[in-house]
Structure 1
Amino acid sequence: MGNVGLEKLIFWSGIGHFALCLGSLLIPKVLQWRLHLGGLKPLLRQIFWTYAAYILVINFFFGVISVLGPDALIDHSFLAKSVTLLIGAYWLTRIVIQFTYFDKTDAPKGVLYTVGEVALVAMFTVFALTYLLAFLYNYQWI
C-alpha cells in the first residue's frame, strides 16, 4: 500500500473515531449507568465517570490527529512511530479485553445489541490494523 492509500486509511479511521465518540455518548443511557452506579460510594462513581471521560477524550484526539495529520503519522519520524504504535496497541488491547475479560452475562440481549457489538469490534479491528500497518510503514518494513 502506498503512502497515499495509507494516509486515506488513517484519515477515514480518524472519522471513525469521531463516529465512535458520538456513539459513546449514548452508552451511559443504553447501559443505564446512572441506575447501576447509583449504589456506589460517591468517590468510586466519580472515578468511574472520570475514566469514561478520559477514554472519550483520548478517542476524540486520536480522531483529531488522524484527520488533521495523516501524513505526519507516516513520515518515518520517532513521533510517527510512537503514536502509531500507541494507537494500534490501544485498539488491539481493547479487542483482547473484549473477548478475555468482559463478563457479558448481564449485557443487553437482542439483535440490535449483537449487531452493535459486532460493528464496534469490527471498527476496533480496523483501527488496530490501520495504525499497526502505519507503524510498520514508518519502519519501512512494508
Structure 2
Amino acid sequence: MKINIPDWVIILGGIGQIFTALVYPYIRHQVFDWYNDVKKLKPLNQEIAKTYGRYIVGLNFCFGLITILFTSDLKNQTGLAVGLTGLIALYWVGKVATQMAYYPMYEIPKKALFKIGGAFMNFLFVFFAGIYTILFIHNLSGYLEAY
C-alpha cells in the first residue's frame, strides 16, 4: 500500500510536537496548578511525578526533532521506520485515548484562552496520532511487501 504524506505535513507535525513540549510547563502551572498538587505527595512521589513530567516533555521534543531532521527516513519503509513510527503512533494514540477516557471527568478553568488552547491541543494530539498511524501503516506495508 503506497501512502503519500507530503514532507511539509510531517514537518508541521514535528514542529507541533516541539511546540507541545515548550508549552507543557505553562499548561501544568497555569491551567492545572500541577505543582501545588504535587507538593501534597510524599517527597519520593513528588520526584517521580516530576520525572514523568520531564519524560513527557523530553519525548515530545525528541519526537518532533527526529521528525524534522529525518522526515524522509520516517517514510522509507525500513524496519527502523516501522518501529519508530509505530512507537510514536502508539504514544499519540494512547495520549488521545487517555484524554478522551479520563480528562472529561475533570474541571478545567473556564477562561477563553484555556478553552481555545484546549481545543487546539486536542486537535494537535489527534493530528499527531493520525500522521504517525498513517506513516506506520505505509512503512509496515512496504516492509512486508519487501519480504
TM-score, normalised on structure 2? 0.86
Q: What is the percent sequence identity of the aligned residues? A: 30
Distance in 2 between residues matched to 1:37 and 1:99, nearest whole Å: 23
Partner of 1:14: 14
Alignment pair present for 1:87 and 2:75 = no
Distance in 1 between residues matched to 2:23 and 2:101, nearest whole Å: 23
CA offsets 1:50-107 (integer angstroms, 9 cap, x no match): 0000111111110111000010011110110111111111111111111112354332
Q: SS at the partner of 2:103?
A: coil
Superposition deviation, residue 9 in structure 1:
1.7
CA offsets 1:6-28 (integer angstroms, 9 cap, x no match): x2222111111111111112123
Partner of 2:133: 132
Name segments (4+ residues, structure 1) moved above 4 Å. none
Partner of 2:42: 41
Distance in 2 between residues matched to 1:50 and 1:101, nearest whole Å: 21
Partner of 2:102: 101
Partner of 1:57: 58
Partner of 2:117: 116
Distance in 1 between residues matched to 2:101 and 2:4, nearest whole Å: 35
Unaligned runs of 5+ in 2: none
Partner of 1:25: 25
Distance in 2 between residues matched to 1:39 and 1:103, nearest whole Å: 23
Letter in 1 for 2:29: K
TM-score, normalised on structure 1? 0.89
> RMSD over aligned Cα, in angstroms?
1.7
Unaligned runs of 5+ in 1: none
* Greater helix fraction, Structure 1 or Structure 2: 2
Would you say the 8 A contact 1:14–1:63 is kept in 2?
yes
Q: SS at the partner of 1:109?
A: coil
Superposition deviation, residue 110 in structure 1:
2.8
